[in-house]
Amino acid sequence: MQVSDPPPPPSAVPLPLRGRIPTLSELFAASPRDSGWAGFLLPQIDRSKPVLWVQERMGILESGRVYPPGLGQADILHVEARDARDALWAMEEGVRCSALSAVIGELWGDPAALDFTATRRLAVASECSHVPCWLVRLGGIANLSGARMRWRVASAPSLLNVLDSRAPGLPTWDADLFRARGYPPGRWTVAHDSGAFHLVAGSGGRALGEEQRLTA
């Protein structure tokens, strides 16, 4: 008789990140000036193929334009959309293309074009093409949405630097999964290192032990 492994301790509950079925995920920035969400999102994206990054013009004015050379080896196709309607159109066209690794779209506020139907269309297109889609909400509220996973992400104090206690260590994020299909909601403080997300022991502390590492 095969004996199943014991359930992991609460602190080691796997984050529902990489490995899930590609779909639409919605990510709410803690504030328009907090770009920590980008550090949380990018490690989850397969960079073997180009990434389509769509920014609405108002989002660029309020939060800044993405700088592709600063994103390492990622091949970024950047689109500046005039408004939310154009941004959603570009995202839907992109997410239907299996030659892309992912589609990222940044929208400002709560535009009328961003309704349940628009998000539902993105989710269905993403699941059909197996291209993950991330809808980044800047200054918006969590109204009705067809997104399968909905996160609130904020920058958190960095880890201690083992080489210099006066220098910052790895960045960390406060990640709140407040809605998800097939996963229980949860809130974690995490860091990313060596290709995986890790739970953080505490504010300004260090990552937890090897047995509590999280596979991302």
Tokens encoding 42: 């990018």
Residue 4 falls inside a structural domain: no
Tens digits of per-residue pLDDT, 143-164? 999 999 999 999 998 888 888 8
Q: Which helix (H) or strand (E) holds 57?
A: helix 57-63
pLDDT above 60 for 205: no
Q: Are strands 76-81 and 51-56 parallel, antiparallel or unpaired?
A: parallel
What is the three-state SS of 108-165? Answer: ECCCCCCCHHHHHHHHHHHHHHCCCEEEEEECCCCCCCCCCEEEEEEEECCCECCCCC
5 in a domain, yes or no? no
Q: Is residue 34 scored above 50 in pLDDT?
A: yes
What is the model's pLDDT at position 184? 87
* 81 part of a folded domain: yes
Q: pTM for this one?
A: 0.82
Domain membership of residue 139 as a residue range = 16-212
pLDDT at 19 over 80: no
Number of structural domains in the chain: 1
208 pLDDT above the threshold of 60: no
Mean pLDDT score, 88-101:
96
Find the CATH number of the domain harbouring 60: 3.40.50.300
Neighbours of 160 (CB within 10 A): 16
Region 77-92: mean pLDDT is 96
